[in-house]
Structure 1
Amino acid sequence: QWLLSSPGSMKFRAKITNKGFIELFIQVSGTIAKLAKVCVLRVCQDKLCFGPTGPRATREARLWCKVMRGASFYQFNMEGVSEELNEIYLELISEHLYRAVRSAGNAASLKIQLTNKRRPCLTVAVELASRTGHTHVMVHDLPVRVLPRRWWKEYPEPSIQVSDVSVYLPALKTLKSIVERMANMGDNVLVEANLNGKMNLSIETDVVSIKSYFKNLGNPLKSAHSVPQDRDPESMVQVRVENRKLLQFFEGQQINPTTALCNILSNTLLHLVLVHEDVSLQYFIPAL
């Protein structure tokens, strides 16, 4: 099923030597593997983007992860299809990438390169240092599909509508345990938030009703500027989503974010955002 054509003139080579960023890249790869079985890696001059495959009209939750080039990469060289279209689109199995990089926890360096070994591959090289001072390199060749230019429009960066409310998330471990309990009792959960930093999660069935309240979470400044002046800050904006999809996010994400946001588009979309240094992870869960 993998395209056997050559990457041609396209080139990509990146190297990470910063131990903290190697660990973060492992966490990012693990998160992507949990949230998207197959993903499209979009290589740009200033960033790497991991996005979903499949038609955009799907009702499934969708992932978008961006790793900025920043200062974290020791080396980052790429040449795309052409000067005007200086990008590369690769389809790969997410779990393969995670298996390749997870051994890099104590590595001296992590290299990622687009290669052609009888078929297009993303070659991951993990350089491990031994106690004697010698190094050995573990090399993983991951088959990839090089997506032709005519398919690129099928994999756009998500266009983000202005949300009706945006609130900082409470501790992710706390949320995960609450959503786990709720998932055992019903199929969907109501998520509510307002402009006074409050957020509620609730589930209601014929047998049981549960509601968790959070307050003093805070709202990003920009969210307060984008709402009508006459709107009551206490009024709750809500969206009902599948418990399974929400739980998948909290179980799958492995990043320890410095910023975690919940954006709600009333009765339409739950948009979760995690940011840590040069990495941003977005998860879009459509309303029921």
Structure 2
Amino acid sequence: MRFRAKIVDIGCLNQFTRVINTVAKLAKTCTLRLTVDKLYFILSDKVANGGVSMWCELKQENFFDEFQMEGVAAENNEIYLEVTPENLSRALKTAQNAKAVKIKLTNKQCPCLTVAVELPSLSSSSRIVTHDIPVGVIPRKLWNDFIEPNVPEFDVSIFLPVMKTMKSVVERMKNLSNSIVIEANKNGEMNLKIETDLVCVTTHFKELGNPPWVLVSEEGSQNSTQDRDTESMVEARIDIKRLLQLLAGQQVNPTKALCNIVSKKMICLILLHEDFSLQYFIPALA
């Protein structure tokens, strides 16, 4: 089992750092899945049991100048590691002006991701700062616990407003309640609501747009979500801190951000970028 990778391009390094920083805000520990083509950061708490889940997918060719790996066996050419993303984030903070960053799976009394940061120097030789980040190797028999989450058929999908604006609104609402209701319809309208015994506050967003998803029925006929009732609202009440974790923690400036709502069951927030995608599942409160 081997893994080594190298980033030279400073733009790729900065973007990779932003992704890691975002993941670190969402999960204290998570699973890093390595394949030949992609990296995945996975948080697989069971949504049905009240936990959040995360699925972050990166194409390695968009970030790494060199990427080599050998899995546990030829037929299972993958590696699953338990990592603390905050430790990886801290290591990458020393690499802001790096000439190159190498990441390697090593064994130093325990399995480690060794991050070697090559920094510029006034002399002819470079300075190397090395970080050994302990990781846990997840055995093959447990890999099925880390498959991509199944998303129930959602009732509404809507593009999010500007995330900085949404963050500002939710931060103010956090002082009033521990929960928030997100409701939306197929007419591009979304509301954020706080409801307590003392106060009811609602922020309205309009003309956000709905992604052109197409649903396929059991009979095989295709029906656009736009053919259904567009005015009626679908809602889910969630923990406001969970929502704020993503809004306050994301540093990746997605090209698209959207929200899928399963009525009274869960919401799925999706950040899309040409280099990666991130799905964040928050269960509804009873």
| TM-score, structure 1 as length reference | 0.91
Amino acid at match of 2:31: V
C-alpha change, 1:226 and 1:18, in structure 2 (3 Å) is: farther
In the aligned structure 2, how far is the partner of 1:46 from the partner of 1:11?
15
C-alpha change, 1:79 and 1:188, in structure 2 (3 Å) is: same
Asked if 1:109 is matched to 2:132, the reply is no
Asked if 1:273 is matched to 2:264, the reply is no
In the aligned structure 2, how far is the partner of 1:265 from the partner of 1:55?
16
- Name the counterpart of 1:166: 157
Amino acid at match of 2:165: T
C-alpha change, 1:226 and 1:103, in structure 2 (3 Å) is: farther
C-alpha change, 1:259 and 1:28, in structure 2 (3 Å) is: same
Q: CA deviation at 1:108?
A: 1.6
Amino acid at match of 1:235: S
C-alpha change, 1:226 and 1:177, in structure 2 (3 Å) is: farther
> What aligned pairs does 1:175-254 form with structure 2 within 5 A after superposition?
175-222=166-213, 227=224, 231-254=228-251
C-alpha change, 1:71 and 1:53, in structure 2 (3 Å) is: closer
- Name the counterpart of 1:7: none
The CA RMSD over aligned residues, in Å, is 1.8
In the aligned structure 2, how far is the partner of 1:133 from the partner of 1:193?
60
Amino acid at match of 2:249: G
* Structure 2: stretches of 5+ with no match in the other structure: 216-221
Q: CA deviation at 1:130?
A: 3.1
The answer to whether the 8 Å contact 1:164/1:227 transfers is: no
Partner residue of 2:279 out of 250, 273, 282: 282
- Name the counterpart of 2:110: 119
In the aligned structure 1, how far is the partner of 2:194 from the partner of 2:46?
30
Deviations 1:202-242 (A, max 9, x none): 11111111111111111111258755675211221111111
How many percent of aligned residue pairs carry the same amino acid? Answer: 51
C-alpha change, 1:226 and 1:48, in structure 2 (3 Å) is: farther
Aligned residues: 279
C-alpha change, 1:187 and 1:55, in structure 2 (3 Å) is: closer
Amino acid at match of 1:243: I
| TM-score, structure 2 as length reference | 0.91
